[in-house]
């Protein structure tokens, strides 16, 4: 991956991918209703998203309200046709049995963030109200910030996130796909945790699973950190340098129902490094040396989406329907979310000048 910063003067403004950590979030995944009227409704809605964020956000400016909107590969084909973002494809599954990164239906992703849940709730109400006749919500999670940015399993989350210009370099598409410059890829998974089993471990055992100290959030020395630890397997390097993604995971749960979870959301300039992390976790590096956190955690959803730049998202409202534009629409003869699952093979290193991730 090129480490050259993306010139702001020539790159369209991205959506609010790399914003300051907030205390509340709502994640909504919806499928498109498979008819022309629904497609028209969603295309028109693309031109309203930014205005709705501004209108609701101004009611409480200190809340830092933002929203990221993304589309799956099959939704993109149905709504907008060609060209398609170069690395947009259906979610790739990894593993099997007890350790399985599954693909689940989802055509549209909304990631709404603010310091106050009422702002998130109000914006979600307006956004979904505009397209309620055109989509079916298949997953909705309300997340919260847990103390000092800790996950539900008690460890600080997102410590190694890139910031500033580095965050832009790792999350925003540049010259490698110029028609979609300013965009990003985002991968989401909902994990449920067996907290009784996790809490039965000693702190020392938990630290070896994660690869960091629990209280101080310091990475364990390589001499004592297992190669199967979560931090080991989610560290990706190319040419001796770490390739980072931007995480904004959120805990969620219903204690009365015994539900405790983490909503994983990772942004990147290419889906390849996130997919490599998943392969390392679920299959192992080498195979069999899997992420031991998966002994206590289970992925129950999975989706990959493209996040257009701000101006592209707004302009999609005026995009002609694929058939009207003379686009080959054969890839969406089935409903958008019903596309076959990939065989899990990776196409890594497709960024301009990017080496393979290991």
Look at residue 9 and tell me if it is in a domain: no
Contact between residue 356 and residue 348 where contact means Cβ atoms under 8 Å apart? yes
Identify whether 355 is part of a domain: no
| The pLDDT value given to residue 329 | 39
pLDDT digits (tens, 9 = 90+) for 214-254: 999 999 999 999 999 999 999 999 888 999 999 999 999 99
Instruction: Determine the pLDDT at residue 10.
Output: 63
- 196 falls within a domain: yes
Q: Give the pLDDT mean for 90-104.
A: 97
Asked if the structure places residue 15 within a domain, the reply is: no
Q: CA 314 from chain center: how many Å? A: 21
Count of CB atoms situated within 10 Å of the CB of 179? 11
Q: What pLDDT does residue 324 have?
A: 64
> In terms of residue numbers, what domain contains 282?
24-334
Q: How many CB atoms lie within 10 A of CB 220?
A: 17
Domain count, the chain: 1
pLDDT at 270 over 80: yes
| Helical pair 36-46 and 117-131, crossing angle rounded to 10 deg | 140
Q: What is the DSSP string of 190-250?
A: EEEE-HHHHHTS-HHHHHHHHTB-TTT--BPPTTTS-TTSHHHHT-EEETTEEEP-EE--E
Helix and strand numbers (H, E) in the chain are 10, 14
235 domain residue, yes or no = yes
Q: Is 65 a domain residue?
A: yes
Taking phi over 0 as left and psi of -120 to 50 as alpha, with beta for the rest, 303 belongs to beta
Cβ-contact 239, 250 below 8 angstroms: no
Within-domain flag for 30: yes
For residue 325, what pLDDT is reported? 53
Residues taking part in catalysis? 157
This prediction's pTM: 0.89
Q: What percent of the chain has pLDDT over 90?
A: 85
* The predicted structure's pLDDT at residue 350: 36
pLDDT reported for residue 25: 98
In 3-state terms, what secondary structure has residue 317? helix
From CA 336, how far away is CA 147, in angstroms rounded?
Answer: 39
Tell me whether residue 353 is in a domain: no
Tell me how far CA of residue 281 lies from CA of 168, 169, 289, 307, 355, in angstroms: 26, 25, 8, 25, 21
pLDDT score of 332 more than 90: no
Q: Which pLDDT belongs to residue 335?
A: 57
The tokens describing 104, both together, are 């689940």
How far apart, in whole angstroms, are the C-alpha atoms of residue 153 and residue 261? 9
Cβ-Cβ contacts under 8 Å for 80 (sequence gap 6 or more): 43, 71, 316, 319, 322
């Amino acid at each position: 991956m090129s480490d050259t910063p993306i010139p702001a003067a020539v790159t369209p403004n991205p959506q609010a991918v790399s914003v300051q950590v907030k205390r509340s979030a709502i994640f909504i995944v919806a499928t498109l209703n498979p008819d022309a009227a629904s497609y028209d409704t969603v295309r028109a809605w693309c031109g309203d998203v930014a205005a709705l964020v501004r209108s609701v956000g101004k009611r409480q400016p200190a809340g830092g309200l933002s929203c990221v909107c993304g589309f799956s590969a099959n939704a993109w084909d149905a709504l907008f046709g060609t060209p398609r973002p170069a690395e947009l494809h259906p979610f790739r599954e990894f593993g099997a049995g007890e350790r399985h990164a599954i693909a689940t239906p989802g055509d549209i992703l909304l990631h709404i963030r603010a310091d106050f849940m009422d702002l998130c709730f109000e914006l979600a109400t307006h956004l979904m109200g505009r397209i309620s006749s055109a989509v079916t919500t298949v997953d909705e999670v309300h997340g919260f910030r847990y103390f000092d940015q800790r996950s539900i399993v008690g460890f600080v989350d997102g410590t190694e996130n890139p910031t500033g210009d580095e965050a832009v370099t790792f999350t925003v598409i540049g010259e490698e796909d110029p028609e979609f410059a300013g965009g990003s890829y985002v991968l989401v998974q909902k994990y449920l945790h067996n907290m009784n089993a996790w809490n039965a471990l000693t702190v020392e055992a938990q630290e070896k699973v994660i690869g960091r100290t629990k209280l101080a959030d310091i990475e364990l020395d390589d001499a004592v950190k297992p190669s199967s630890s979560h931090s080991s397997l989610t560290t990706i390097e190319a040419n001796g340098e770490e390739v980072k993604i931007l995480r904004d995971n959120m805990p969620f749960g219903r204690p009365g129902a015994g539900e405790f979870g983490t909503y994983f959301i990772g942004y990147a300039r290419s889906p390849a490094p996130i997919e490599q992390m998943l392969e390392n976790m679920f299959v192992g590096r080498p195979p069999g040396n899997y992420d031991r956190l998966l002994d206590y955690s289970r992925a129950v959803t999975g989706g990959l989406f493209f996040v257009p730049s701000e101006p592209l998202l707004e302009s999609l409202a005026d995009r002609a329907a694929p058939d009207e534009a003379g686009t080959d629409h054969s890839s969406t003869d089935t409903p958008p979310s019903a596309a076959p699952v990939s065989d899990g093979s990776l196409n890594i290193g497709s960024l301009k000048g990017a080496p393979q991730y290991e």
